[in-house]
Structure 1
Amino acid sequence: MSRKFYMSVLILLMSVTLILSGCGTKKEPKEALQSAAATAMKMDSYVSESQIKLTDLTIDTSSSPELGAVYSMLKDAEINLTQMYQRDPMQTEASLEVKLTGDFSTTITLQFVMTKDKVFIKIPSIPFLPLPENVTGKFLEFDLKELAESNAESFNPDLLDTDKTQKLVAEIANVILAEYDSEKFIKDVDPKELTLPEGFKAKQVVQFYITNDTFKDAISILIKEALPKALDIVAKDEYREMLQLTPQDIEDAKKELGELNEDEFQKDLDEMQKVLKINEFTFNTAIDKDNYPSYQEMNMDVEFSDPDTQEKLKLAMEMNSKFTSINEAPNFKIGIPQDAITMEELEQEMNSFGY
């Protein structure tokens, strides 16, 4: 399979993880998750706040000073994303904050604005990457139509079409969840077990979870049962063209999955289980009184160990996301930039700065 196909699948799987969400009245857990995508489609506008935080990163860096520097930066790293979205007329603005620690301790903030036709990115001030003062703080403007024409092989503006991508993710989420047994992977949990945002009351909380004992089954279901059905969805013209895949790409992927050697596959899973230990992997979705998936959280704690070298790596992280102001008139803070600069203007300034 092509590199392009793998990247598309990775983006889809990440998106599926982020969109798992709630239901209407309290239902059987699996049914609640399967109805989540349809519920999410009703959000014509919202404000979302998300956080990803590394709570533990333990690795032996004694043999690699370069790795030690990277480790120092990433340990306790935190990513915060605030987004405001409106479906019609399409407008999104977002602020991404990346906090790094260690010798290069710094906070980098990126701001984005997107409409149906354009994307604006605010040029940040980065301590270890000096930029001309007269461009930092300004927005860089990209015309999506021009970008598509100049990068026909590598960029499709449909990938930024929120409605289309949400619809695709919803269909993918449904077929994947349909393959997982409620008795082993999906359950209701008491809302009291979660630290919910202040003022938020959950009508139902559903948890998708994988344990060390069910890890092999989870991967096997994903590869052998869920992915072939997900490929049928991706094969639809509107999605395939959006992901810039050819019919042959889809057929090649299906063929490779169909020719999977069962003995070798199980051997690979056994080897993986020898090096991977799952202490926790849970994804909770809290549904509010209006049946919206207004709060989600993921907790992951895994360990990797090399049986030959005895080297170990431990990774623990938390992710949470909440939605507010659903279907309310958005109060955009940035708005559509009126004094943005073009890429040509940026290049001129960078050249005069010595780059």
Structure 2
Amino acid sequence: MIRKSLLVSIILLLALSLLTACGDNRTASQILEDALKKNATVKSQSFNGFIELGLTFSDSLIQNAPPEGQLFLQSLKNFRLTYEGAMNTEPLEGEITLSTEIPFGDLKTKIDLPILIKEEKVWIKVPQLPIPDLQNYAGKFIELDLKELEKLSGVDTLPTDPANIAENAKVMNKMYYEEIFPLFFKSYGETYFKKGDLNEVEVPKEIAAKQSVEFTLTQEQLEPFITSMLSDFIPKVLDIMAKPEYRDVTKVTADQLNEAKKSIEEAKSQWEKNKGNLNQYIQNLSIKGVSVIDKEGYLAHTVFDMGADLSDPENPGTVSIKLKAQSSSLNINQKPSFKNTIPPSSGEIIPFQELINGLGGL
């Protein structure tokens, strides 16, 4: 009896070890594609993130710029934009607050810009800025009525009727998640994606991370990547967008699509002639993106890093670019908590036309 129990235990341990070793047998691109499809079903969430951009210009470029231009170029060494917010799809409502620092002379002013949305209306809070014409409006919300803007501009905006919003979202999800994304991962999944190591990425403690997927693009891979995009992927995307069911939602006309196809053909022709000179314009390219999938299968955290040196062989000087972005999705499908009242109280609102009139019109 003891031997039989021991044998059963050993078999169970071996089976468990094999299952653990095999893990998820999907490819990295399949894991990410499935997570993106699941994210399309999200009804509510909170989110936060940042974008950091650093542009470093060589001395020769700065010296050739006018004095005011030199200050501007130097100010681009460290730009950071942060954001946080929450959203709900039923009913459609959400908020996002953008924060950054803007230089005014030798000083930097921190700017917070809350943006609220509820179905057909958007409210943007006027920040405190050292601009006299805006002082009287600081702290108030500019109200934008999408239906009214559509009438004034004569251009179709996003649908404002809840039923139309839901139906259009369904069609757009089909276009992206059943056609464009699968096409992208089929074209580039094996070459540019791989399963990542969670120990190599810092994940917010609120996220129960399960696995990660990495995307990398190097200087050596850039030429074949661009060639494939121009000759294969982008033309196929345009063919997808040309389908009547998608054109009815995107409002892209047949003439616009045909013009886009001609432009791609021209770009492809120019690329074939000049791709041998690519390294004269772009050097030291490095792109890495990490997507973290949580235990429920949602794409919950992303990190993106890019670095490159740009130059023009006909003009002296280089520009070094560094870009880093991060985003997190939290409290998925839980009741969202908004920091601002949506909509704002009537005393806080300025109709858009009143603001324009107050600033002297357009």
Q: TM-score range by the shorter chain?
A: 0.7 to 0.9
Partners of 1:26 and 1:32 within 8 A in 2: no
2:185 maps to: 177
Q: Are residue 272 (structure 1) and residue 271 (structure 2) matched?
A: no
AA of the residue aligned to 1:75: K
Secondary structure of the residue aligned to 1:301 is: strand
Secondary structure of the residue aligned to 1:124 is: coil
Secondary structure of the residue aligned to 2:133 is: coil
CA shift, 1:55, in A, is 4.6
For residues 192-214 of structure 1, the C-alpha deviation after alignment (integer angstroms, 9 at most, x for no partner) is 11122235342111111110000
Partners of 1:158 and 1:242 within 8 A in 2: no
Secondary structure of the residue aligned to 1:52 is: strand
1:227 maps to: 234
1:322 maps to: 328
AA of the residue aligned to 2:352: M
Q: Superposition RMSD on alpha carbons, in Å?
A: 2.7
AA of the residue aligned to 1:297: V
Partners of 1:52 and 1:320 within 8 A in 2: yes
Gaps of at least 5 residues in structure 1 are: 1-23
Given the superposition, is the C-alpha separation of residues 277 and 142 from structure 1 closer, same or farther in structure 2, using an over 3 Å criterion? same
Q: Are residue 113 (structure 1) and residue 116 (structure 2) matched?
A: yes
1:44 maps to: 43
Normalised TM-score (structure 1): 0.83
Q: 1:125 aligns with which of 117, 125, 128?
A: 128
2:95 maps to: 93
Q: Are residue 345 (structure 1) and residue 351 (structure 2) matched?
A: no
Q: How many residues align?
A: 326
CA–CA separation in structure 1 for the residues paired with 2:47 and 2:173: 15
Q: Percent identity?
A: 26
AA of the residue aligned to 2:63: S
CA–CA separation in structure 2 for the residues paired with 1:327 and 1:287: 16
Given the superposition, is the C-alpha separation of residues 159 and 261 from structure 1 closer, same or farther in structure 2, using an over 3 Å criterion? farther
1:303 maps to: 309
AA of the residue aligned to 2:154: A
Judging by fraction of residues, say which structure has more helix.
2
Q: How do 1:105-254 and structure 2 match up within 5 A?
A: 105-127=108-130, 129-153=131-155, 156-158=157-159, 163=169, 168-170=175-177, 171-182=179-190, 184-237=191-244, 239-254=246-261
1:7 maps to: none
Secondary structure of the residue aligned to 1:120 is: strand
Given the superposition, is the C-alpha separation of residues 159 and 180 from structure 1 closer, same or farther in structure 2, using an over 3 Å criterion? farther
2:5 maps to: none
CA shift, 1:269, in A, is 2.2
CA–CA separation in structure 1 for the residues paired with 2:244 and 2:148: 23
Q: 2:77 aligns with which of 75, 78, 84?
A: 75
For residues 205-261 of structure 1, the C-alpha deviation after alignment (integer angstroms, 9 at most, x for no partner) is 111111000001111111111111211232234543544421111123234445766
Judging by fraction of residues, say which structure has more strand.
2
